[in-house]
Amino acid sequence: EAGVVQSPRYKIIEKKQPVAFWCNPISGHNTLYWYLQNLGQGPELLIRYENEEAVDDSQLPKDRFSAERLKGVDSTLKIQPAELGDSAVYLCASSLGSGTSGRTDTQYFGPGTRLTVL
Amino acid sequence: EDQVTQSPEALRLQEGESSSLNCSYTVSGLRGLFWYRQDPGKGPEFLFTLYSAGEEKEKERLKATLTKKESFLHITAPKPEDSATYLCAVPNQAGTALIFGKGTTLSVSS
């Protein structure tokens, strides 16, 4: 079974330029997450989708970041314009759902996109 | 505030030298505790989920245990290929996101 697919794996851009990341979750997984990981830190949630609906985007910097999950399958995260501080690894994860009966479903991560803003 | 603290930050072991990694958490109503392994340049790879105090899970040389306030990842007779960063995470109180610790970077030398 294929895991979470992300592209590109690496991206180098000049500041103020736009950039987009793509994610295809594990087949059948309804919940999709975008995380940000800085060097030496654990991942931090940016946005969570239940099917095509963004149900938690409180940590997404909405002035420059946007995301979409059309048709409830793959997803795109965009930054426009990029700033130097956006350099990080952007991780996509998916899970069957959010969980039931007080148990959270396991999240499976993709390989990430390493963004460098110059 | 929900928090996850991992210790030590870094651990160097000789091949065959067993040890433990610690993950302490402060969150009400634990909905699961997750251990991941992350190799350089890769995404976190799922290892274990623990849901109840007293629960234990094993995979090869790794064994994860859970109490009401912390979890341990025991590594028995490690090999160089066990070298990686091990991340611990718990769901926030709403169960909507994972809160990760900073990880423990393990280096095993032969």
Q: What is the pLDDT of residue A69?
A: 96
B43 in reach of chain A (CB within 8 A): yes
Q: Enumerate chain A positions whose Cβ falls within 8 A of a Cβ in B.
A: 4, 6, 33, 40-45, 48, 55-56, 91, 93, 98-99, 102-104, 106-112, 114
d(CA B37, CA B14): 19
The closest of B11, B53, B35, B93 to A106, measured between CA atoms, is B35
d(CA B9, CA A68): 36
The closest of A104, A85, A84, A103 to A95, measured between CA atoms, is A104
Q: What is the pLDDT of residue B84?
A: 98
d(CA A100, CA B56): 21
Q: What is the pLDDT of residue A102?
A: 74
Residue numbers in B near A103 (CB within 8 A): 31-32, 51
d(CA B90, CA B75): 21
H or E stretch at B44: none
Q: What is the pLDDT of residue B30?
A: 83
The list of chain A residues with pLDDT below 50 reads none
Q: What is the pLDDT of residue A103?
A: 83
Sign of CA dihedral B6, B48, B90, A7: positive
CA distance A88 to chain B (A): 12
Task: Enter the tokens of residue A103.
Answer: 């148990």
DSSP category for residue B53: T
pLDDT per residue rounded down to tens, chain B (110 residues): 769 999 999 999 999 999 999 999 998 788 899 999 999 999 999 999 999 999 999 999 999 999 989 999 999 999 999 999 999 999 988 777 899 999 999 999 99
Of B31, B46, B87, the CB nearest to A102: B31
Q: What is the pLDDT of residue A99?
A: 75
DSSP H helix total and E strand total for chain B: 0, 11
